[in-house]
Amino acid sequence: MRTHVAIIGAGPAGLMLARLLELAGVDAIIIERRSPDYVLGRIRAGVLEQGTVELMDRAQAAERMHREGHIHHGVELSFDGDRQRIDFSALVGRHVVVYGQTEVTRDLMAARQLASIYDAEDVELHDFDGKPYVTYRKDGASHRIDCDFIAGCDGYHGVSRRSVPQSALTTFERVYPFGWLGILVDKPPVAEELIYAHHSRGFALCSQRSLTRSRYYVQVPADEDPGAWSDDRFWDELRSRLNPETAEALQTGPSIEKSVAPLRSFVAEPLRFGRLFLAGDAAHIVPPTGAKGLNLAMSDVAVLADALIEHFIEGSQAGIDGYSAKVLNRIWKAERFSWWMTNLLHTFPDTGAFGRRIQRAEFDYLASSVAAQQSLAENYVGLLG
């Protein structure tokens, strides 16, 4: 088999890249390790920046998102029960759309016209400094795909980044000493907008998927066993971290999913190695606090798609040569914002009395300064350029 672009991974990054290339008439094949059902079974975040919404439009996969997604004009921050709304629309004239990443994935899968290879085992990348090709096994048989470029969109644990010689790669990492215990429940959200809460017992987040389905999180130790958390224990803990009014309004019910996600900041540099590119979680991880993971993956592949289209349609090399520097600039700004939100809202083992006062001062500053609110708002809705 032969294609222009072999895309490793059918997460949102790989699927969006494939779709943008397909619409431009550039041939690409997706090679994914899991089955479509497995990919669609993963529960992930659900806040879309305007740039991501526009990319879904460009991908002609936006119809359901516009119908079922909810526009959010702001979020609430809560600090030891004191509340502060951040009004995105008033502060920066933009908003976000709440629509599950799983649904984004489903819509992109449905939009794709060309075939993708799922259930591919032992995917390997070869010779990306020369004439690249990808090998894999499926149903007991070995396969080879020759290509001009490989796009590594296979997430943090994928094979693409691991295929690069160690000496060619610099990585930057911060592992946080806690995780998020999340539950999904078929009850209406506690509030119209998301609530990010700091409390001395730890961070909590009230999020949502629809008018009837909610997603809640509480900060727990990184190695926490979700099995140790009955639904009742979860609801009690969540309520204790919210302001009394919100706690009172919370509608609880049996959880339909419960899991712990670790928090990590990670960036690899550079993101191009000859004819191999890294994009999305394969290239970087942010803690979920700023809701940047999906959006960053989407902005990477928007740049990569344009670079590849420019190459194949116009014969220009400029986009390809500029890819790594261009996306890393945005990636580091999103890393900074996610790190900052994480620091403001969580309790760290070494925060201490001084650190708590600094967090409180940061919250009070946000509550009293339009400039500080604007800074949060423009980052949350997605930086322009």
Q: Is residue 196 annotated as part of the catalytic site, yes or no?
A: yes
Query: How far apart, in whole angstroms, are the C-alpha atoms of residue 241 and residue 203?
Result: 7
How many residues in the chain?
385
- In the list 11, 46, 74, 280, the residue contacting ligand PHB (rule: CB under 6 A) is 46
* Cβ-contact 345, 376 below 8 angstroms: no
| Interface stretch with ligand PHB, choices 40-48, 257-265, 342-350, 368-376 (CB under 6 A) | 40-48
**Binding at 55: pick from ligand APR, ligand PHB, none (beta carbon under 5-8 Å per type):** none
Residue 291 touches which of ligand PHB, ligand APR, none (Cβ within 5-8 Å per kind) = ligand PHB
292 counts as catalytic:
yes
Q: Which residue has the closest beta carbon to ligand PHB?
A: 207
Contact, 255 vs 184, CB < 8 A? yes
Backbone angles phi, psi at 181, to 5 degrees: -90, 120
Which residue in the set 26, 62, 65, 123 belongs to the binding site for ligand APR (CB under 6 A)? 123
Residue 303's binding partner among ligand PHB, ligand APR, none (Cβ under 5 to 8 angstroms by kind) is none
Which residue stretch of 27-35, 46-54, 232-240, 244-252 sits at the interface with ligand APR (rule: CB under 6 A)? Answer: 27-35
Q: State how far the Cα of 299 lies from the Cα of 51, in Å rounded to an integer.
A: 8
What is the distance between the alpha carbons of residues 204 and 238, in angstroms, rounded to a whole number?
A: 7
Tell me whether residue 176 is one of the annotated catalytic residues.
no
Site string for ligand APR, 93-112 (x = CB under 6 A): --------x-----------
Instruction: Classify 159 as helix, strand or coil.
Output: coil
**With binding defined as CB under 6 A, does residue 198 bind ligand PHB?**
no
Q: Is 48 in the site for ligand APR (CB under 6 A)?
A: no
Task: Please answer whether residues 84 and 76 qualify as being in contact, where contact means their C-beta atoms are separated by less than 8 angstroms.
Answer: yes
Cα four-point dihedral sign 173, 179, 185, 190 = negative
Count other Cβ atoms within 10 Å, centred on residue 319.
18
The reply to whether 216 belongs to the active site is no
Q: Is 52 in the site for ligand PHB (CB under 6 A)?
A: no
**Is residue 31 classed exposed, middle or buried when 0-12, 13-18 and 19+ CB atoms within 10 A define those classes?**
buried
Supply 58's token pair. Answer: 């460009």
Q: Which residues are 182's β-sheet partners?
A: 217, 259
Contacted entry of ligand PHB, ligand APR, none for residue 12, CB cut-off 5 to 8 Å set by kind = ligand APR
Catalytic residue chosen out of the listed positions 133, 196, 216, 217: 196
User: Can you list the positions of beta strands (E) in 186-312?
Assistant: 195-198, 204-208, 214-221, 255-269, 272-273, 276-278, 284-285
Residue 288 annotated among the catalytic residues of the structure: yes
- Binding region for ligand PHB (CB under 6 A) out of 274-282, 286-294, 295-303, 366-374: 286-294
Q: How far is the CB of 271 from ligand APR (least distance, A)?
A: 12
Which residues of the chain form contacts with ligand PHB (CB under 6 A)?
A: 45-47, 194, 207, 215, 288-289, 291
**Catalytic residue positions, numbered:** 72, 196, 288, 292, 380
